[in-house]
């Protein structure tokens, strides 16, 4: 069976693979037999091999070097290009993160291939599905040159376990000077949350300008915690300083696709919709009956969030 390379996204805190990796391994099976590629500092592969075997990786290529961590993106693309040259895979599948997309672009140039970003599905003949224009249009596309490279949008494929041998193969890593031009001098974590990761969460409760203050975001957090959900925010909420930028959902924030998205005090501007329109179920709470978010909502409550949301939280908590 044809081999498909899947680039592994390792959780930054060393807790294993990100869910995006399991999704990519699952999607890759449509095209052939997935082989996982783990690139990072020495010791990276140790924490992730189990999960890769569980989700069907036949092989695990391990490329470890301090240089991969010390320089931005380019070293990973270089090692991956070397693997593509050696293994002639049928395709390469990469999680659609900012880094993943940069790697895909560089790899495409290095290997003379075409790429498709943010795909939500890959068919056996290589045709990919993409969602364009803030979710309004569904597109089918195909790579016509070289080794097809796909970046897979998070939460669009349900990870399915499959047995894999996960046979480890070390890759000799020697990074060229050309790939060592942008040095990463520090990695700073400004906030940590115990809630689920936005892009991986099954339920998201997002607050907008209507929440009115940073303190009042506790209303959003309360509902989120009662549902085991992640917290999101609109850009207006972020710009007003109610919530940190890393929780922003939308065109210039995160693209999310949870089972349930609850938009509270959010009007539903096109740039916000761009990041959440593919959510399976959308619920909105807004005091303005004309708010565009209601056009998207499966269920909408016209009302003041400050009364509706705390009452709902209380009822949900009481049901447990």
Ligand X SMILES: Cc1cc2nc3c(=O)[nH]c(=O)nc-3n(C[C@H](O)[C@H](O)[C@H](O)COP(=O)(O)OP(=O)(O)OC[C@H]3O[C@@H](n4cnc5c(N)ncnc54)[C@H](O)[C@@H]3O)c2cc1C
Contacts of ligand X in 252-311 (CB under 6 A): 252-253, 265-267, 269, 271-272, 275, 285-288, 291, 304-306
Q: Which of 8, 73, 175, 211 binds other proteins (CB under 8 A)?
A: 73
- 35 close to 148: Cβ distance less than 8 angstroms: no
Interaction of residue 106 with other proteins, rule CB under 8 A: yes
**Helix crossing, 305-319 with 217-227: angle to 10°?**
20
Q: Which of 234, 255, 277, 278 binds ligand X (CB under 6 A)?
A: 234
Residue with smaller CB distance to other proteins, 172 or 192: 192
> How would DSSP label each residue in 115-126?
EEEEEEEE-TTS
- Which residues make beta-bridge pairs with 119? 130, 152
> How would DSSP label each residue in 67-86?
HHHHB-SHHHHHHHHHHHHH
109 binds, among ligand X, other proteins, none (CB under 5 to 8 A by kind): other proteins
Residues 186-225 that bind ligand X (CB under 6 A): 208-210
Residue with smaller CB distance to other proteins, 102 or 221: 102
What DSSP designation does 90 have? S
Interaction of residue 298 with other proteins, rule CB under 8 A: yes
Phi, psi of 77, deg, nearest 5: -65, -35
Which stretch in 25-33, 44-52, 83-91, 129-137 sits in contact with other proteins by CB under 8 A? 129-137
Interaction of residue 148 with ligand X, rule CB under 6 A: no
Minimum distance, C-beta of residue 284 to ligand X, in the bound complex (Å):
9
Interaction of residue 311 with other proteins, rule CB under 8 A: yes
Q: Is 319 exposed, middle or buried (0-12, 13-18, 19+ CB in 10 A)?
A: exposed
Interaction of residue 31 with other proteins, rule CB under 8 A: no
Which helix (H) or strand (E) covers residue 23, if one does?
helix 19-28
Interaction of residue 289 with other proteins, rule CB under 8 A: yes
Interaction of residue 246 with ligand X, rule CB under 6 A: no
Which stretch in 83-91, 157-165, 188-196, 244-252 sits in contact with ligand X by CB under 6 A? 244-252
103-107 long-range CB contacts below 8 Å, 24 or more apart? 103/7, 103/73, 103/76, 103/77, 104/149, 104/150, 104/151, 106/73, 106/74, 106/77, 106/81, 107/77, 107/80, 107/81, 107/149
Minimum distance, C-beta of residue 199 to other proteins, in the bound complex (Å):
8
265 binds, among ligand X, other proteins, none (CB under 5 to 8 A by kind): ligand X
Cα–Cα dist 62/82, whole Å = 13
Q: Is 235 exposed, middle or buried (0-12, 13-18, 19+ CB in 10 A)?
A: buried
Residue with smaller CB distance to other proteins, 240 or 246: 246
Phi, psi of 273, deg, nearest 5: -60, -35
Residues that bind ligand X in the complex, under the rule CB under 6 A: 208-210, 234-237, 248-253, 265-267, 269, 271-272, 275, 285-288, 291, 304-306
């Amino acid at each position: 069976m044809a081999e498909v390379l899947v680039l592994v996204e390792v959780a930054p805190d060393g807790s294993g693979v990100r869910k995006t990796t399991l999704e990519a391994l699952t999607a890759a099976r449509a095209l052939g037999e997935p082989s996982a590629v783990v690139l990072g500092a020495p010791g990276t592969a140790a924490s992730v091999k189990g999960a890769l075997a569980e989700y069907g990786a036949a092989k695990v290529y391990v490329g470890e070097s301090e240089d991969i961590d010390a320089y931005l993106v380019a070293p990973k693309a270089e090692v991956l290009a070397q693997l593509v040259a050696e293994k002639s895979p049928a395709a390469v599948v990469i999680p659609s993160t900012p880094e993943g997309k940069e790697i895909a672009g560089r790899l495409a140039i290095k290997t003379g291939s075409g790429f498709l970003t943010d795909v939500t599905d890959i068919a056996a003949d290589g045709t990919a599905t993409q969602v364009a224009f803030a979710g309004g249009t569904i597109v089918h596309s195909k790579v016509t040159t070289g080794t097809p490279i796909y970046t897979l949008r998070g939460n669009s494929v349900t990870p399915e376990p499959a047995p894999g041998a996960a046979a480890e193969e070390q890759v000799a890593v020697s990074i060229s000077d050309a790939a060592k031009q942008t040095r990463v001098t520090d990695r700073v974590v400004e906030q940590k949350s115990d809630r689920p990761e936005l892009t991986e969460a099954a339920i998201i409760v997002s607050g907008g300008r209507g929440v009115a203050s940073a303190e009042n975001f506790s209303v959003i957090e309360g509902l989120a915690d009662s549902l085991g959900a992640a917290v999101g925010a609109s850009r207006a909420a972020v710009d007003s300083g109610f919530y940190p930028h890393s929780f922003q959902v939308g065109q210039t924030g995160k693209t999310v696709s949870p089972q349930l998205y609850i938009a509270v005090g959010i009007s539903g501007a096109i740039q916000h919709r761009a990041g959440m329109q593919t959510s399976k179920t959308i619920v909105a709470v807004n005091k303005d009956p004309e708010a565009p978010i209601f056009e998207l909502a499966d269920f909408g409550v016209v009302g003041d969030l400050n009364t509706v949301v705390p009452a709902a939280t209380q009822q949900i908590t009481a049901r447990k």
